[in-house]
Amino acid sequence: DGGITQSPKYLFRKEGQNVTLSCEQNLNHDAMYWYRQDPGQGLRLIYYSQIVNDFQKGDIAEGYSVSREKKESFPLTVTSAQKNPTAFYLCASSIDRDTPGYTFGSGTRLTVV
Amino acid sequence: GQQLNQSPQSMFIQEGEDVSMNCTSSSIFNTWLWYKQDPGEGPVLLIALYKAGELTSNGRLTAQFGITRKDSFLNISASIPSDVGIYFCAGQLGDRGSTLGRLYFGRGTQLTVWP
Q: Determine the pLDDT at residue B99.
A: 47
Average of per-residue pLDDT values in chain B? 91
C-alpha B112/C-alpha B81 separation (Å) is: 8
Q: Over the stretch A61-72, which tens digit does the pLDDT of each residue have?
A: 999 999 999 999
Q: Determine the pLDDT at residue A41.
A: 83
B7 contacts on A by Cβ (under 8 Å): none
The mean pLDDT value for B60-74 works out to 96
Query: Confidence class of residue B102 from pLDDT cuts 50, 70 and 90?
Result: confident
Q: Among residues B108, B36, B22, B29, which one has the least CA distance to residue B73?
A: B22
Q: Over the stretch A33-85, which tens digit does the pLDDT of each residue have?
A: 999 999 888 899 999 998 999 999 999 999 999 999 999 999 999 999 898 99
| Residues above pLDDT 90, as percent of chain B | 77
Q: Over the stretch B31-66, which tens digit does the pLDDT of each residue have?
A: 999 999 999 999 999 999 989 999 999 999 999 999
B103 contacts on A by Cβ (under 8 Å): 100, 102
C-alpha A97/C-alpha A112 separation (Å) is: 33
Query: Confidence class of residue A97 from pLDDT cuts 50, 70 and 90?
Result: low
Contact A93, A4 (CB under 8 A): yes
| Residues above pLDDT 70, as percent of chain B | 91
Closest Cα of chain B to A89: distance in Å? Answer: 9
Contact B56, B106 (CB under 8 A): no
C-alpha B101/C-alpha B115 separation (Å) is: 40
Find the residue in B nearest to A58 (Cα).
Answer: B1
Instruction: Print the SS3 string covering A32-48.
Output: EEEEEEECCCEEEEEEE
Is A95 in CB contact (< 8 Å) with chain B? no
Average of per-residue pLDDT values in chain A? 92
Contact B74, B22 (CB under 8 A): yes
Those residues with Cβ within 8 angstroms of residue B74's Cβ, 6 or more apart along the chain or in another chain: B20, B21, B22, B34, B46, B47, B61, B62, B63, B87, B89
* B94: alpha, beta or left? (left if phi > 0; alpha if psi -120 to 50): left
| pLDDT at B1 > cutoff 90 | no
| pLDDT at B14 > cutoff 60 | yes
Q: Which position has the higher pLDDT, A100 or B114? A: B114
Q: What is the DSSP letter of A30?
A: S
